[in-house]
Structure 1
């Protein structure tokens, strides 16, 4: 992959690739579009940053450099990034940017990050110093483009991290504006990569609008959870949650970090205030807090100054905080995918972790999915949970049903199955049940890894010219 990348990999003390890196890197270097599913904490960020930066080092800035110089002659400063990484939250965008700086160390390639809630003037000044790889949240990126500070005409790589959430709910219109209504090269001319721990079927169908003849890569028990995480589900009535939480915190190891998830912003503030009054050093993070407050809260949590972090779903995805030994679902989420992402904040990269969830009849709609997940991960299933799950089944009359909280495609690895293997996508978008390079299974989750491919792929070596004068 080149001297710069290999040298920086050595400096980060990475000794061997994780499974998602092992299979994703040659696909990306082979210039194929990719939809990759892998468990939380499996190294997805490096899986796309390493091959993208490697190709940028090899191929050089090309026409983007000339365009930036031409527009600078008229007194305007506009950047034309070669790679764009979109992330759903400010914290995740900032974290990806920090990782990209590691792999761009001692090179002429400059990563930048833009996200809402921070000083836009400072971000513009950072951009004007040069930007080859841009990490952004969709809203702030659209703002920067409208201000004429960023142009996507020469973007070769588009990455959607936590892509299912990016395309779900309120992000889709902004992404379509960025990808389809502006000047970005069309699919087939750019390389598009999507990464997440869960890819429900409906999101896969939506994603085909952005991908061209893509490979679907499923690593591990996709949509499931790591067996390194011990999952406990306990019956706790609403009025007893606070006292039960205090019991868990009193039993925690010294210097270990505990992440407590609640459903609402008001609930986060109220629980943080309660813990503070009880003498527990804690902080909170949610969408209504300013960016400065959120960064300060994460810093205090990471450093151990406040070893208890109360958070809403804003902290459920992508955040990589070492030494989180315990995740507590004070309030369980409404769908199982959110649960998977939440407890994935512990037990990362081979470490052991503990996840405790408070359950009562308010959460009965989650019972059957939660029971299935515990069975898949070889965890203990409380007998009362089985009773609630089967009670829900008898009331509904069947296991079936749709919706975001349901497992798409059935079977053991929801969100980790390529829907094209059983349903050819309308209007093309990949060959039905295509072959699997290397003989791997095309059904993700049933084995250790799987490919589904619309055709073969070839690695392009390119020239050995160093365009960056390193």
Structure 2
């Protein structure tokens, strides 16, 4: 017998949201049907029974309310959510709990989402109260919709004039992430008639300026390009009342702190600020303390230490430089045909060289800071569609790229630290999927051995004895490379010599070149000089909005 319909909601345009027992179902029906007609039949969709009628063309789970049957504390424990702040509202465990407008729920249904991710479930109710948020969650956790959907609701509430300037501003570290955020904003904001403009370097300013002139509700921008356009007086931020800093840790790591503070100086003090970050180092804590007012902090997982995604099987292989290319070919041959693989190299030169060597057999393509925007877009499209299933990249792709079906990540060169390692391998195992990461580790990487072992153990991964030996000695292997395998198909590993000449120092060169992704000093606008003295010191007057800015310049640790 089909379960009784307990709740029925017409979302319009053929979409119905119905509650059957303890489950919520989204069904698209092109016309009004007699649900009890003789042509209807019972269809088993475990664990449900559905009454299925002719004309129903799509159906999918919106999420089990088994989650909503849990108490807020039980839900948080189950999903490793911790919250800090005053009177934190309970999480939304299903989409119907959100109270989002029907047109927005239709977009969610059409996109095939099943239930809010933990970061969405807890950050949405806070954001809808117009409160500041610091959200700390790994990449691939659904944070983009975590701030975009409440941003759409905010736009409906404030009803500003888009021709006077944007109302919502999202800052992003890279153009790739910025364009992906824009794509999501356009996709989910279409039915709400929301206009979004993306501002990033490495592309002509003209088309971006013309979009601004036509009027926009949301601006997604990299800090460097937005600063350029601010200096040209071609954009006003005086209407911004919803500010998002996405991947804040990465923006600070790339040296964008002065630009961020300069931008925030142009934004009204009376605003809502949301900061999303994958890690929680002291630099991020400092800027959060300066820019946010009485924020609610939402943590997914353990934020006191760096943790790798447990859905990723990690293989660390210690091997000689001369063995790396052969090992890469072995790994690629062991994958299913057309499976998507990202290979990370530390230099642009090695990136191009390896891609050339792999192109004939594996249809590889390269992406790095010396590629034009057109070349990057073409390569990423080839990768997304599977025409070039192997992408060889510098760290430009280590954060922000949201390609959900990447099967394997290979660290041909070990990165400059374990934080970048976590973000690199985080390109796989996204949105609940599993993945594999192969890392070649060599003598020159020995200083990272102890931190890497801690990460591996924290994610319940096997630790090679050679890696343990390197950590115990506090040094390298003395030129003696060994093979180690942690599972079927794994042979050996390691990495060869590497030149970090493509990476600038944190306080390195001045002038900005947003088209260069090769190093930490890229996009830096005068970073070698003094820091921005216009720091925002904030106080609370009880309303959650008051900010009293500090006039005295301060230095940063």
When the two structures are superposed, what TM-score results if normalisation uses the length of structure 1?
Answer: 0.78
Match of 1:332 among 411, 414, 420: 414
Conserved? CA contact 1:214–1:430, under 8 Å? no
Specify the alignment match of 2:283 in structure 1.
202
Partner of 2:145: 46
Check if 1:32 corresponds to 2:128. Answer: no
2:172 paired with 1:97: no
**Structure 1 residue 197 displacement after superposition:** 1.3
Residue matched to 1:307: 389
SS of the equivalent of 1:96 reads helix
- Kept in 1, the 8 Å contact 2:319–2:440? The answer is yes
Q: What is aligned with 1:440?
A: none
From 2, 5, 9, the equivalent of 2:108 is 9
CA contact (8 A) 1:53 1:103 kept: no
Whole-angstrom distance in 2 between the partners of 1:322 and 1:275: 23
Whether 1:296 aligns to 2:378 is yes
Please show how residues 257-406 of structure 1 align to structure 2 within 5 Å: 257-276=340-359, 279-392=361-474
Residue 176 of structure 1 and its aligned partner are, at CA, apart by: 1.5
State the Cα distance separating 1:456 from its structure 2 match: 12
Alignment of 1:44-443 (within 5 A): 44-61=143-160, 64-65=161-162, 68=163, 79-180=164-265, 183-186=266-269, 189-222=270-303, 223-276=306-359, 279-392=361-474
Contact 2:172 2:222 in 1 (8 A): yes
Which gives a bigger RCO, structure 1 or 2 (Cα 8 Å, sep 6+)? 1
Asked if structure 2 preserves the Cα contact closer than 8 Å seen for 1:214 and 1:429, the reply is no
> Are the counterparts in 2 of residues 39 and 221 from structure 1 also a CA contact under 8 Å?
no
How far is the alpha carbon of 1:171 from its aligned partner? 1.0
Partner Cα separation in structure 2 for residue 128 and residue 144 of structure 1: 12
Deviation at 1:49, TM superposition (A): 0.5
C-alpha distance in 1, partners of 2:543/2:411?
Answer: 44
Q: CA deviation at 1:204?
A: 1.0
Aligned residues: 388
SS in structure 2 of the partner of residue 357 of structure 1: strand
**Shift of residue 393, structure 1, vs aligned partner:** 8.8
Assess, with a 3 A threshold, how the Cα gap between structure 1 residues 153 and 281 changes in structure 2: closer, same or farther.
same
Look up the SS of the partner of 2:362 in the other structure: coil
Q: Distance in 2 between matches of 1:84 and 1:22?
A: 22
Write out per-residue CA displacement over residues 68-126 of structure 1, whole angstroms, 9 at most, x where no aligned residue.
Answer: 4xxxxxxxxxx511010011111000000001112211223211111111122122222
Structure 1 residue 382, shift from structure 2 partner: 1.1
Larger Rg: 1 or 2? 2
Evaluate the alpha carbon distance shift between residue 327 and residue 122 of structure 1 in structure 2; reply closer, same or farther with a 3 A threshold.
Answer: same
Deviation by residue 1:119-155 (Cα, 9 ceiling, x = unmatched) = 2212222222221011011111112222232100010
2:363/2:388 contact within 8 Å kept? yes
What is the CA–CA distance in structure 2 between the aligned matches of 1:372 and 1:123, rounded to whole Å? 45
Deviation at 1:237, TM superposition (A): 1.4
For 1:410, the equivalent position in structure 2 comes to none
Q: In the aligned structure 2, how far is the partner of 1:169 from the partner of 1:109? A: 31
Gaps of 5+ in 1: 69-78, 395-403, 405-426, 432-454, 458-470
CA distance in 1 between partners of 2:537 and 2:290 (Å): 10
Structure 1 consecutive aligned stretches of length 4 or more whose deviation exceeds 3 Å: 427-431
Query: More helix by proportion, 1 or 2?
Result: 1
Distance 1:148 1:385 in 2: 54
Over the aligned positions, Cα root-mean-square deviation in angstroms equals 2.5
Look up the SS of the partner of 1:217 in the other structure.
strand
1:129 and 1:3 mapped to 2: Cα distance? Answer: 28
How far the C-alpha of 1:304 sits from its partner, in A, is 0.9
Structure 2: gaps spanning 5 or more residues: 1-99, 477-505, 507-535, 545-557
Checking the alignment, whether the CA contact within 8 Å between 2:135 and 2:298 is kept in structure 1 is yes
Tell me the alpha carbon deviations over residues 13-57 of structure 1, each in whole angstroms, 9 at most, x when there is no partner. Answer: 222100000111111111111111112211011101011111212
